[in-house]
Structure 1
Amino acid sequence: MAHPKVMILMADYGHDPTETSIPWKQFKEADFSVSFATEQGARAACDSRMLEGMTGMFLGAAHPAKTAYKALETSTEFQSPLSWTDPSFTLLPYDLVFLPGGHDKAVRQVIDSARVHELLAEYFPLTRAASSDKKCVAAVCHGVQVLSKAKYADTGKSVLHDVTTTALTSFMEQSIYQATRLFLGDYYKTYGAGTPSVEEYVRRELDDPDTQFKSSMSFAPFVVKDDKYNYISARFPGDVEEFGKAVVEAVERVLSS
């Protein structure tokens, strides 16, 4: 089997370092060929608050993730991303598209990008399990929100409309926001205080949110795999070790089938 090709779509700044670097490390260990893309091809940087200072110490990335992020920063692929606004850019050559999360307001660059939505709407149908195209998509936390906003031109429905998924849960988002708002303000609310949660944004795009959206209040790893599509989702940094393993296994299984 040829080296599976992975595309990681990112904003210029603000993604969670754990949700980005741990899956990247697992992809590299599995001998996947990894590429990155940002809006104009600028080198990305993850949310520094999750790596530095008191916030990084008490709420940020754990030591293994910080180590993985240092390795990620020096990698050729991270330092030389492609541009997802380049007219010639397409996701079609890639076996896996991965969307990391992150709550810093700067990640709205990718969440709200009409170009990213267009690219994902073209790619996602190729992940259907019955398809011969053998494509996969994985998303964690706010990365699921990116997918939820990608809509098919003919129906206006989200690519996730008939998909089983999870994302950062309202309980988790509201809990950390309330616990930190006196000293961090609305840092944990990507669209500002009083706006809907990631879960709410995602649920409103599902045909039957009460059955399709899977949630867990446990801090134990929680990973959701859809039956109809080669699509895997997770909630937050605590899930990503198991999430990354599940994604690697899914890509290898799909490509060998």
Structure 2
Amino acid sequence: MAGILGGEREEDVMAAVLIPVPARDSDPSEVAVSWRVLAEAGHTVSFATPTGAPAACDELMVTGRGLDPWGRVPGLRRVVALGRVLRADGAGRAAHEAMLADPAWRKPLAWNEIVLDHVDGLVLPGGHRARGMREYLESPVLQGLIVGAFRRDLPVGAICHGVLLAARSIDPATGRSVLHGRRTTALTWSLERTAWRIARRSRFWDPDYYRTYPEQPGQPEGYLSVQQEVTRALAAPSDFLDAPPDSARKTSGRSRDRLGDDSAAFVVEDGSYVSARWPGDAHTFAARFAGRLR
């Protein structure tokens, strides 16, 4: 924690990276895979939560329980079928289990304790469950932190809904998002809509589980999707990038990357800013971000 709050850094530490997360419902893969890749690269990773209390990732994405039509039936809830496909994969779950034992995860900072003077890079993970994510996405404290990081040209990595948090960070000096003039990707409407349509049927008692901000009356479908809101913050719609439509491994939502195999991933780099779409990009995203730290 000294790397964030002050004091001397160890000589063998390459960089101090901060990952702010909500109190609950962040995506376990996007948080834990980023942590693991950066930590194994030799960087010091710290976490920050709203109050400084330990956070909890989205349990449905960890176990898959509750994503099947019988997910509310006590005796059947532990039987996971569709949930195996929708939850974090083996690499994500293993990284999450390891992260839970990390002292930095157990003793995070509070958001209002963060001092950028001792941060070398900022990672913004995502998550979609409205119950926990809205506090994170709507936080003026985090938005101000992100503005400060972009002004200093610190490396900033954002994945999935983390890009939405960056898009909502308005620099008072310009009145524009910090992403205005940048190229970026984020959770695409295609990926978001596919997961939403599946879960509307399988998790019928909570049909908007995959939509953090469902549309209001009179708004067209997808208007409050991550892709459309992020695009509205950019200098031009063409600054929002997605994988080529003929690349099934990158666009289907069924394939996930690994270290050393980025064939399923799509990551956008623009100067010191790195962005990605969803948990299936997490290894490549974290590795590219680590390259910016060097």
TM-score by length of 2: 0.78
Distance in 2 between residues matched to 1:152 and 1:92, nearest whole Å:
19
CA distance in 2: counterparts of 1:146 and 1:176, whole angstroms = 21
Partner of 1:230: 272
Structure of greater Rg = 2
Match among 156, 160, 168 for residue 137 of structure 1: 156
Q: Displacement, 1:54?
A: 5.5
- Counterpart for residue 146 of structure 2: 120
Counterpart selection for 1:243 from 279, 285, 288: 285
Aligned positions, number: 240
Q: Cα gap change, 1:247/1:108 in structure 2, threshold over 3 Å: closer, same or farther?
A: same
Which residue matches 1:102? 127
Residue of structure 2 equivalent to 1:84? 111
Task: Tell me which residue corresponds to 2:177.
Answer: 158
CA–CA distance in structure 2, aligned partners of residues 32 and 144 of structure 1? 22
Q: What residue is the counterpart of 1:93 in the other structure?
A: 118
Moved over 6 A (4+): none
TM-aligned CA deviation for residue 63 of structure 1: 1.1
Residue number in structure 2 paired with 1:199? 227
Aligned 8 A contact 1:7 1:91 in 2: no
- Post-superposition Cα deviations, 1:128-185, rounded to whole Å, max 9, x if no partner, equal xxxxxxx200010000000000011122100000111000001111111112212321
Alpha carbons 1:186, 1:193 under 8 Å: kept: no
Q: Note the alpha carbon deviations across 1:183-227, whole angstroms, 9 max, x for none.
A: 3210000123556100011001101122x110125332101001x
Does 1:75 find its partner at 2:102? yes
Percentage of identical aligned residues: 35
* 1:81-115 Cα shifts (integer Å, max 9, x gaps): 101124xx322311110000111111111110011
Give the SS at the match of 1:14.
strand
SS of match in other structure, 2:166? helix
Question: How far apart, in 2, do the equivalents of 1:122 and 1:59 lie?
Answer: 35
Q: Which runs of 5+ in 2 are unaligned?
A: 1-11, 68-82, 217-222, 252-263
State the alpha-carbon separation in 2 of the partners of residues 121 and 246 from structure 1: 21
Distance 1:198 1:47 in 2: 18
Tell me how far 1:2 sits from its aligned partner. 4.4
Specify the SS of the correspondent of 1:51: helix
Cα separation, 1, equivalents of 2:146 and 2:39:
23
RMSD between aligned residues: 1.4
2:26·2:58 contact (CA, 8 Å) conserved in 1?
A: yes
- Confirm or deny: 8 A CA contact 1:92 1:123 kept in the other structure: no
Mapped pair 1:186 → 2:208:
yes
Structure 1 CA distance, aligned partners of 2:237 and 2:50?
A: 31
Question: Aligned partners of 2:187 and 2:117: how far apart in 1?
Answer: 27
Separation (CA, whole Å) in 2 of partners of 1:2 and 1:33: 6
